């Protein structure tokens, strides 16, 4: 199985866990307003990849999937400012 396929399978295994337990991911501790309320969870078997998401009363919104070596806070802040 290719790495891409394994990644997608792992992502798809992580999402139901997130759906069932939306508060399982750690909250982002950052002073930037645009990141307030955002959470993150590691993709199973791909420990360097993170799903960033927000939880509302009726849904979970995946914001972005990023590699942890990136400056994730700068990327998320920049994207939030442009949306």
What would the pLDDT profile of 7-53 be if each residue is shown by its tens digit? Answer: 999 999 999 999 899 998 888 877 677 788 889 999 989 999 999 99
Q: Please state, in angstroms and as integers, the Cα–Cα distance from residue 10 to each residue in 55, 57, 76, 78, 82, following that order.
A: 21, 26, 23, 27, 30
Give the pLDDT confidence score for residue 41 in this predicted structure.
Answer: 94
- pTM, rounded to two decimals: 0.86
The alpha helices in the chain, defined as continuous H runs, are 3-20, 72-82
Domain of residue 10 covers: 3-82
- Total domain count, the chain: 1
Is the pLDDT assigned to residue 1 strictly greater than 90?
no
CATH number at residue 61: 3.30.2310.20
């Amino acid at each position: 199985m290719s790495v891409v396929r394994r990644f997608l399978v792992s992502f798809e295994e992580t999402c139901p866990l997130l759906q069932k337990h939306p508060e399982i991911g750690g909250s982002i501790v950052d002073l930037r307003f645009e990141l307030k309320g955002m959470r993150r969870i590691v993709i199973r078997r791909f420990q360097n990849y993170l799903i960033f998401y927000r939880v509302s009363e009726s849904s979970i919104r995946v914001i972005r999937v990023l590699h942890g070596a990136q400056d994730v806070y700068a990327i998320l802040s920049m994207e939030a400012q442009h949306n």
